[in-house]
Chains A and B, each alone.
Chain A
Amino acid sequence: MAVMTPAGDYRTSYREDMTIFPTRNSRLALWLGLALLCAAPLVLGRYELGLLVNIGIMGIAALGLNILVGFTGQISIGHAAFFGFGAFASAWLHEQFHIPVVLCIPLAGFMTALIGLVFGAPAARLKGLYLAIATLAAQFILEDFFARAQWFTGGVAGRITEPFELFGWRADREESFFYVVLAFVILMFVGAANLMRTRDGRALVAVRDHYLSAEVMGINLAYYRTLSFGIASFYAGVAGALYAHYLLFVSVEAFTILLSIQFLGMVIIGGLGSVMGSLMGAAFMVLLPEAVQMVADALAGGAIDRALRLGNSISFLREMTIGAAIILFLIFEPDGLARRWRLIKAYWKLYPYSH
């Protein structure tokens, strides 16, 4: 995956080769984008901000899954359970030990990472299909645990959580919580982008590309497979904790296998092994149901609406479009939105000589 830079590759040092944002324009775009996002709460309404917050939270979780699936080549169909575990863990830590929410969120991440390592222990020896099945089992076991562990999750009734608070500043509305999520998104994404530039990150990619060769080169397979499972769970836990303190209420029903599938869909649609792609995939997955809703609203009252009973079955239509989107992307654009984005960028860089 060569990064397209205008008119050749003039790097003369390793330092230059390792930069995340290689050109002046890309750095400029970054600062501009950040400034725009910081100004967003002044312009956008609560609903749009809520969507952005959701994209950020889902993006963090999807990034974790992408480290597992896209970078290490393992698979997990239990990501939503870890996401949920993070949500409950953060709420529980706050209520039980009165730890401030700021600390609860990373702590919940570490707790989830521990649970991830427990279920990741079989993952050290498994791959592909067997791992998919093992994580599927983890999903059902954890879901059952959520419903049963009254002390931890509040059982079937769910658990009320406290809003995020820092030095007396309460983030209990979309306008304020947006900045919290933004800060976490930046932290987690820079973390992931940097992870991929370290020895450990390259080891993960080596395990994905050819695990036998990686082992021959002295990479400890079991260690790195388990490690990537732990990192993925950490990301899921942090995202789940953010989710809990955003909604101010967590209950078991939110973390079903459908959400796990949605996370996998984000990774596939965004692009396997692409850090930015995870965020794009999350945005796609969050906005897709909105688009379905808009189409249904536009058709409401018409003949099509009456014939197909669109109004009553909007949730099924959403699920159907999610399934269809996953299949269509796999068939027609297996490298996901990240590749599309690179193509668009390359087109404009080389314009008007793009062919």
Chain B
Amino acid sequence: MDWSLLLQLTLNGLIVGALYGVVAMSFVLIYKASQVVNFAQGEFLLVGAWVCWWLLTDWQLPFWAGFLFTLAFMTLFGMILQVVVLRPLIGEPVISVIMATIGLGIFFQALMKWIFGVFAKPFPPIFAAEQVSVFGLQVQTVYLMSLGISVLIMAGFAWFFTASKHGLAMRATAFDQQVAQSLGVSVPKVFAMSWAISAVVSSVAGVVVGVVNGVSSALSFYGIKVFPAVILGGLDSVVGAVLGGLIVGLLENWAQYIDAEWLNWGNMYTIAPFYALILILLVKPYGLFGTKNIERV
């Protein structure tokens, strides 16, 4: 047993898991508000990261300005997607909506490859110190930043949904659209807003991952890793999504550790969450914390 490696991997798992949690949260946000399963969540990360990269390198903006511009762009991006593509599909069967988001996913992934190329490109350095030491472990500064940002976003979500007017309107819409409408909530606005918020939050995660690993189309794989997380946590639970993300992050890294120490199968890092997913669905078809739909005829 290599304890320091295990500790390092656990820490990595928590940091990556927090990011998964953030992305899963923004996925759940869309699902709760507009009942759309977004298979293009990973492309939100991708588009956000590339836009930020482009502003920082081609336009030589300072990080804070480029970051703010990116957020503004992603707000518009999410809203436009909802209005142009998803709004005409309201009331269509769930398969059509899933397919539309899958179509969006491959469209934007290919578009980004076309504009920016297929190779990973590094962000310009943002922090003076590359690494800092935490409890004797060497941790990259960007990882710490990413953990901080993740916690910040989660706290922001908690405040938004419990205290702000728009957040309450969104929860009302998620609970019952007709009742929300009759109480004066504009449901189309809530839909557009949920997509905008989801795009912005995902793009923050995208920029963070981009700063750590460089920007490439591998980023969109985060959108796929979201599924084990939300199945673990339950599709309609924001807290569950965060927990699910953390569990998936830990699971990946521990699977890698077990693989490296004993199994030597290779690639367990990417595949382990999917095995877990199938097992969970076999036992609990609505996920671990998801509410079971009781249907009446």
Contacts and interface: CB of A to CB of B under 8 A. Distances in A.
A322 B227 contact: no
Interface string B80-107: 0000010011001111101110111111
Given A141-B275, A316-B110, A122 B281 contact: yes
Given A122-B285, A134-B281, A316-B110, A147 B267 contact: yes
Which interface residue of A133, A264, A324, A326 has the most chain B CB atoms within 10 A? A133
Interface in B145-177: none
A133 B280 CA distance: 12
A148 B295 CA distance: 43
B124 interface: no
Contact of B103 (A216, A272, A313, A326): A326
B231 interface: yes
B103 A140 contact: no
B260 interface: no
Interface string B207-240: 0000000000000000010011001000100000
Given A125-B285, A148-B265, A330-B89, A323 B278 contact: no
B106 A323 contact: yes
Interface residues of B, number: 45
Nearest to A77: B102
B266 A148 contact: yes
Given A75-B95, A128-B94, A331-B89, A316 B113 contact: yes
Contacts of A261: 102-103, 106
A334 interface: yes
Given A319-B109, A326-B100, A133 B231 contact: yes
A190 interface: no
B236 to A, nearest CB: 11
B92 A330 contact: yes
A313 B113 contact: yes
Interface residues of A, number: 48
Which interface residue of A69, A137, A264, A320 has the most chain B CB atoms within 10 A? A137
Contacts of A73: 93, 95
Contacts of A136: 224, 227, 274
A265 interface: yes
Interface in A291-341: 309, 313, 316-320, 322-327, 330-331, 334
Given A133-B277, A212-B295, A323-B107, A317 B231 contact: no
Given A132-B37, A141-B278, A331-B88, A75 B98 contact: yes
A141 B268 CA distance: 10
B85 A327 contact: yes
B88 to A, nearest CB: 5
25 contacts: A77-B102, A122-B282, A129-B94, A132-B98, A133-B227, A136-B227, A140-B224, A141-B275, A141-B278, A144-B271, A216-B297, A264-B99, A268-B96, A316-B113, A317-B110, A318-B110, A319-B106, A320-B110, A320-B111, A323-B106, A323-B107, A324-B107, A325-B103, A327-B85, A327-B100
Interface of B: 37, 85, 88-89, 92-96, 98-100, 102-111, 113-114, 224, 227-228, 231, 235, 265-267, 270-271, 274-275, 277-278, 281-282, 285-287, 295, 297
Interface of A: 69, 73, 75, 77, 119, 121-122, 125-126, 128-130, 132-134, 136-138, 140-141, 144, 147-148, 212-213, 216, 258, 261, 264-265, 268, 272, 309, 313, 316-320, 322-327, 330-331, 334
